[in-house]
Structure 1
Amino acid sequence: MMSVRDCVKALGLALLLCSGAASAKTATQVEPNTQVPVGNRHYAATGFPDRIVASPAQDAARGFGVAWRTDGTVTSPVLEWVVGGDSPDVGKVTRVTATTTALTTELGASNHHRADVTGLAPDTLYLWRVQGNGTWSAWNQLRTAGTADKPLTLLYFGDTQNKNLSHVSRVLRAGIKAAPTATLSLFAGDLVSGGDGQDDSEWGEWFAAAGWLPQETMVAPAIGNHEYFEEFEDTPQERRVLGKHWPVTFALPRNGVDAASTSTYWFDHQGVRIVVLDGTSALDLGTAKAQAQWLDKVLTDNTQRWTIVLLHQPFYSPREGRENAELRDVLLPVVRRHDVDLVLQGHDHTYGRRGEGSDATPQYVVTVAGPKQYRLSDEARATMAPVGEDTQLFQVLTIDPQQLRYEARTVTGRLYDGFELTRAADGSKRKTELTEGRIAPRDCARTETLKGRADRCWE
């Protein structure tokens, strides 16, 4: 028979084992999408300006737009700008009065402001700041696009979407460190997940994760399906509706197709024409033909040496069971006809690149920045190279009149994919693979996610 002391020791050991088991279980639980508890108002608007983001004007050498947020006490703020100098005495500023749109979310009321800065000089560093309620943002500095003969460096990120502050932040920081001279950042959509009653907190964490990137580079995002939401879900009236954050969060060029006016646009940036499409609207809202006609006109009028098309859903999907047939049937012929150089995409949370047979262009890329990771289809493994799973990536593009260099790097900075497009005097293009230092393609080693899903690698 056990003594009282032995019973106490046994009970203590049992409690210790149970505690260890509980800790182990906690360590493998699914991480929440945001780091603020439900109902927490950490990201509620105040009189201080926040969510400050610059985006290119149609001619990024001559201007840019800025969007920011405050609480409802700020109704007609201004943006101040001046040519950048070395003294803290910035000199005489130019003021631009913003337009304001009210928005109500789970965190309460807020005002979103937009100011368009015009009449600037190419390849010039400008200081600018935005106003709140008796307050100002920091002085930010941003360089306008140079002339077409100047080299350009830009960053490209796939879907961020989930766990932006905890996981995506290091990808964005790695991109900035790898390309400190970048003046432009492209995002392939699904910046946030949405639809969970915490949309405003998710946008707050996206901006927290991005840090200075939205003020020190011009940000040009494509819209993803998660920037929409399902109205009347699971009823015969179910339909896709544009989320209320998208139109007020970015100050994008207003030159898109009428059928998707807030989510399609184009701009010229240092010898490159970049056209942004709305794949969700094309697939779910019947705007594919209208977008194709608009795209055809924008590319027909193109005078730039290089062309990039940015959209969320890929023409060739690397994920099992996804086929975006209407994009391929309606929009892809326009891309081919105009010999677009790069098509940058997201949506499928894997990595994959392919071309069109032996032609150098177009090159189609799907990539992912966030921690949500899918699995590749057998078709992708047979038609794309390289491919990848279970890998967070950022991309650096360096472009001059004769050459476009593309590098995809892992979050730790390792080269995952790379190639160069070289333009000959007759306009023809040659592709050269960059293989030196490239790591081997990565596969997911997990059989299922923490939620038991075999079709994904990470939630």
Structure 2
Amino acid sequence: MDGNLMKLDNRAEGPGFARRRLALGATAVVMGVTAVLGSGLTTAASAADGAQPTGIILGVGADESQRVVSWYSSANTAQVVQVAPASKLVNGKFPADAVTFPATVAANTVNGGYNGHATIDGLKQNTAYSYRVGADGSWSTTYSFKTQDFNGNNLDFLFFGDPQIGSSGDVAKDGAGWDDTLNVALAANPNAELLVSGGDQVESANNEPQWNAFLAPDKLRQYPWAATIGNHDVGGKAYEQHFWTPNTDRSAPYYNGAAATRSGGDYWYMYKNVLFIDINSNAYASGSDAAHIGYITDVVKKHGADAKHTVLVYHHSIYSPADHANDSDNKQRRQDFPTAFSRLGVDLVLQGHDHSYSRSYVIKNGQKANKGEQPGAAQVSKGPGGVIYVTANSASGSKYYDLTAPDTTKDPNYGPDPLNPKSHWANSVENQEHVRTYVRVQVRGNKLVVENIRSGTCAAPNAAVELGKVSWCGPGNGTGAAPAVGSTVDKVVIHSNGTDKGKADEAKPATTEADWLQ
């Protein structure tokens, strides 16, 4: 554990609680003067100008006992996150023994202010916590979150595709759809433990009004957001100034663009028995795909044995069902990634970018593993090397892409499915109704249950429909009425025996991109 990270609870931890201590990608250091209170507690000096923090978001930590809080500030002062069990607050007032976690504060390249982040560590399971950001005299609003059982085999998390606030041309309408999806999803799944991003939080990387609309929902301060960088988040530093992620490698191969605008990196975290690895798929040329594979390989070799499932997250869907199906960069990734992912024992790949929904067949080494698997099968057994790829539809309704027919003139290796020629060969399900959806993933022992759920209808808030960006809405290209909010588009139970966990292909270690493709 990094010596600069304070514990919320300094007492001895139970064996299940202390099974891991994972270092964050950067240490939490105090910027400015702090006063020591004893028992490992500190408080920041009062902020000089009384400016309150803005853009606060709760992020995922290195494991279930951590959270990362990120925010913006107009002041370069000593700032902290103050935390206490919610039961100890009296009339909204924090107790004298509330713990503070010092922040790293740096100059903000976007708006001339500052950005800060701090890591809350030592959280106890099954506990509700309250927290606030800032310093004496300039505290933020108090927010709350809760932890759940750290030792069980069950985990529910939600995956959201491309809010891309601003892409409809109306930031307010896009923000309304995004806020509604979060409210609908978390009302239906209050015990979800993670909110996982598919990337493209905003339309324009350095547009702070778009970021403000994305960050407006209070649910993003109550549930940890596991950020993913999309192509619309690239082009400035706003992405990583808004989101600080654990175990992050920000070396050149994992970035995209000129040094002044690089943002992102590859990162990983372990939550219960699931190893999550998130890569910056914007960086794919000049050997970057090989670097990503090397990063994933290293993480799996070091930590995969501790996981029952490995979930990989990135933005660009390699088995795209819509407009991006045959983009040159996606064709390259289809060559570079699938065999490596099978060898590394990846179970589930979550992707965005194409603003439509798809769920693949079980894919092994870039091929359909079982030729007899039927389209839309409700249950599949993936076996060693089998991978399911999911593409998320728009979570905000700001932009939808219509499904495209397989076109072998653009990519001869991405043709029609013999069992369903309207779909691409890799995909068991392809869907677009021009309604907002989100993906729920339930981990149940050796099973993964993946479900695409409607969070809206054709009615507002649905910016692309409201503004006439699309000409129809509903199933069957608008021939059917939009089903109710909360109804299921697609559901599959994935059975895995876990025998391929924790190791890369030891018999034939791969050191270069070419090795993986053999």
Which TM bucket (shorter chain)? 0.7 to 0.9
Aligned to 2:308: 305
Q: Does 1:408 align with 2:452?
A: yes
Deviations 1:335-392 (A, max 9, x none): 1112311100000111111122226241111112132011212127243232122232
1:423–1:352 CA distance, 2 compared to 1 (3 A): closer
Q: Secondary structure at the match of 1:51?
A: strand
Q: What displacement does 1:424 show? A: 4.4
Aligned to 1:48: 52
Q: Does 1:276 align with 2:278?
A: yes
1:133–1:87 CA distance, 2 compared to 1 (3 A): closer
Q: What displacement does 1:109 show? A: 2.6
1:68–1:160 CA distance, 2 compared to 1 (3 A): same
Q: Does 1:420 align with 2:493?
A: yes
| CA distance, structure 2, for counterparts of residue 286 and residue 425 of structure 1 | 31
Q: Check whether the contact 2:322–2:354 (CA below 8 A) recurs between aligned residues.
A: yes
| CA distance, structure 2, for counterparts of residue 249 and residue 122 of structure 1 | 27
| CA distance, structure 1, for counterparts of residue 493 and residue 295 of structure 2 | 29
1:325–1:70 CA distance, 2 compared to 1 (3 A): same
Q: Check whether the contact 1:75–1:111 (CA below 8 A) recurs between aligned residues.
A: no
Aligned to 2:86: 84
1:109–1:299 CA distance, 2 compared to 1 (3 A): same
Letter in 1 for 2:270: D
Deviations 1:85-120 (A, max 9, x none): 265264311112211122254xx4321111112233
Q: Secondary structure at the match of 1:381?
A: strand
1:265–1:123 CA distance, 2 compared to 1 (3 A): farther
Q: Secondary structure at the match of 1:311?
A: strand
Q: Secondary structure at the match of 1:147?
A: coil
Query: What TM-score results when the alignment is normalised by the length of structure 2?
Result: 0.65
Q: Does 1:363 align with 2:388?
A: yes
| CA distance, structure 2, for counterparts of residue 300 and residue 257 of structure 1 | 20
Q: Check whether the contact 1:70–1:132 (CA below 8 A) recurs between aligned residues.
A: no
Unaligned runs of 5+ in 2: 1-48, 256-263, 371-380, 407-421, 456-484, 502-518
Alignment of 1:120-135 (within 5 A): 120-131=123-134, 134-135=137-138
1:87–1:70 CA distance, 2 compared to 1 (3 A): closer
Structure in which a larger fraction of residues adopt helix: 1
Q: What displacement does 1:141 show? A: 2.2
Structure with bigger gyration radius: 1
| CA distance, structure 1, for counterparts of residue 118 and residue 213 of structure 2 | 23
Percent identity between the two aligned chains: 23
- Alignment RMSD: 2.5
| CA distance, structure 2, for counterparts of residue 142 and residue 152 of structure 1 | 16
| CA distance, structure 2, for counterparts of residue 329 and residue 122 of structure 1 | 42
Q: Secondary structure at the match of 1:109?
A: coil
Q: Check whether the contact 2:156–2:440 (CA below 8 A) recurs between aligned residues.
A: yes
Partner of residue 386 from structure 1, selected from 407, 412, 429? 429
Partner of residue 358 from structure 2, selected from 352, 355, 380? 352
Aligned to 1:260: 254
Query: What TM-score results when the alignment is normalised by the length of structure 1?
Result: 0.73
1:427–1:335 CA distance, 2 compared to 1 (3 A): closer
1:63–1:410 CA distance, 2 compared to 1 (3 A): same
Alignment of 1:147-296 (within 5 A): 147-161=150-164, 162=167, 163=171, 164-194=174-204, 199-208=207-216, 211-229=217-235, 243-256=236-249, 258=251, 259-260=253-254, 262-283=264-285, 286-296=287-297
Deviations 1:46-93 (A, max 9, x none): 9222211122222x222121101121x342211111233265264311
Deviations 1:172-203 (A, max 9, x none): 221111211112100110110006xx701110
Q: Check whether the contact 1:175–1:395 (CA below 8 A) recurs between aligned residues.
A: no
Aligned to 1:42: none
Aligned to 1:18: none
Letter in 2 for 1:420: V
Q: Check whether the contact 1:77–1:97 (CA below 8 A) recurs between aligned residues.
A: yes
Residue correspondences, number: 362
